[in-house]
Structure 1
């Protein structure tokens, strides 16, 4: 699929992974692929490494619709698409439809001149109803930035190994008054007691001799 778009910078997309997985399943069940996703023609069947160029299903063919609905509403998506893990970053482009009419009044004369000088066939009533024809057949698409601020959301671990030990030590010292120095003092006391008992045992054994 990606070979069809040269010189593009590709990144992993979980949604695209699901689309590829569904196309492979439809091709496996129907022998053709979903025509709605016409740009995804290459599929790899499960358990193989062969890349297949699938043909588009006929739009009236009910097989791909039935298989796609079953795939999306059952547990097959988790079973067949286990490799489609979450992506590290997500870039979305929200779309807003404006309420402005197109074209604007000051653009009509320029569009009229362009149409008349082109090879576009003109309707019979063009000379009298050209404004209506332009407004009914003209579509304007403007791509603008919604805001100059970019929100970058990242997920990272809130606690590392050092934080865990710090919290355990802090809570231990808070609730039972135990600190690292206290633990060392307890260990030293136990070592002294054991050493003293060993000394008494050795002294008793020497006295018996």
Structure 2
């Protein structure tokens, strides 16, 4: 593993989805009551997986299933509109507008809006760190439109990701609260992993992803999270003959598939079995990590906003915005209402140093060939030496026998009876 730190004079900016924490509701639905959740849980006698979940979990699942029966246009119409919730926007001090955002629908959070998605225009870059060279948003929370008893948290979820992958704000989003200015500082982390035979990562992020439901809907590249979700969804469709409304339906199914109904005991049992297998990592999903991945390290800080000195200026600006805001900020509780419904967020690079982690092979093919050559050289050298030693030994042995034969011949030429003086 090799770690290095680099400096760049300009960095491409990530995509930044903004999602209200108040998801859309079908307020006229009889299913969206706490008693309906309790009744639903009591109906399930066998799958203990659901019985272990909280009422809030069941409430969210019922809400998702109920909304899944509506068309996408109906679901979008029930959610927050960017024109209503975006009070002010600037990028590096230059004003921006809702036209600079791309909308996508999340089954749990509703309408989400991504700045710098890269779909309609080139990705933005910045040349300096700091909040004055990033994205600044002033947002209207619209708490008066929250459905009583259904939404526990007020504010927004902000995610930061590479534009080529699918965001999941509910899982990795940062919470932006009303009454605060939230600063999100970024640092780039690039990770390079080795493919086979050294590792098991996926090198080509655009091939072999036809079954990825998010690729089918949004034409994104491979990501481990979308692969796991797609594996789960395809398993539900195959075994339960319905789809989990928490995630998009697969477009490769050549038949009409409806959302799994929580009031259907067979579908609920089937869903519970698959969710239990998924929780135990028993589903056969081949979802390796990507060989090359760009992530963003975040540091979050916040302070009370607006300050007492800026509050009157903010109220004057909001009065000019629309009639709904004007109706609330002219009363006696204008200050309290402002702090409960206004939020500010700044997203920027806090430094231009980016980190790079590269996975290196501990034993490469050249190393193997070098070792083989070394071993061959060693043993071949020993073999040649042995051959020469064999010939040398044979030569010495032959010389020995020849010398012994010569000595016998000389001794036979001398008469044993002859005396010498």
Determine whether 1:76 maps to 2:282.
yes
Equivalent of residue 42 in structure 1, options 228, 247, 250: 250
Give the distance between the partners of 2:258 and 2:362, measured in 1 at CA: 49
Secondary structure in 1 matching 2:358 = coil
Distance 1:102 1:161, change over 3 A: same
Distance 1:74 1:115, change over 3 A: same
Shift of 1:141: 2.6
Structure with greater proportional helix content: 1
Structure-1-length-normalised TM-score: 0.61
Secondary structure in 1 matching 2:323 = coil
Aligned residue number for residue 137 of structure 1: 341
Give the distance between the partners of 1:170 and 1:108, measured in 2 at CA: 78
Distance 1:52 1:151, change over 3 A: farther
Shift of 1:142: 2.2
Shift of 1:66: 2.0
Aligned residue number for residue 127 of structure 1: 331
Aligned residue number for residue 25 of structure 1: 235
Q: Residues 14 and 86 of structure 1 are in contact (CA less than 8 Å); yes or no, is this contact kept in structure 2?
A: yes
Shift of 1:129: 1.7
**Pairing of 1:26-175 with structure 2 (within 5 A):** 26-37=236-247, 40-42=248-250, 44=252, 50=253, 55-57=258-260, 63=268, 66-67=272-273, 69-77=275-283, 79=284, 81-82=285-286, 84-105=287-308, 107-117=310-320, 118-120=322-324, 122=326, 126-167=330-371
Which has the bigger relative contact order, CA under 8 A and spacing at least 6? 2
Give the distance between the partners of 1:86 and 1:113, measured in 2 at CA: 50
Distance 1:151 1:136, change over 3 A: same
Shift of 1:19: 0.9
Give the distance between the partners of 1:135 and 1:36, measured in 2 at CA: 33
Shift of 1:135: 0.6
1:142-179 Cα deviation digits (max 9, x unpaired): 22224422222222322223323545677999xxxx56
Shift of 1:11: 2.9
Give the distance between the partners of 2:303 and 2:263, measured in 1 at CA: 37
Structure 2 unaligned blocks of 5 or more: 1-213, 396-421
Distance 1:60 1:74, change over 3 A: same
Give the distance between the partners of 1:125 and 1:89, measured in 2 at CA: 50
Give the distance between the partners of 2:345 and 2:255, measured in 1 at CA: 36
Give the distance between the partners of 2:369 and 2:334, measured in 1 at CA: 78
Distance 1:29 1:3, change over 3 A: closer
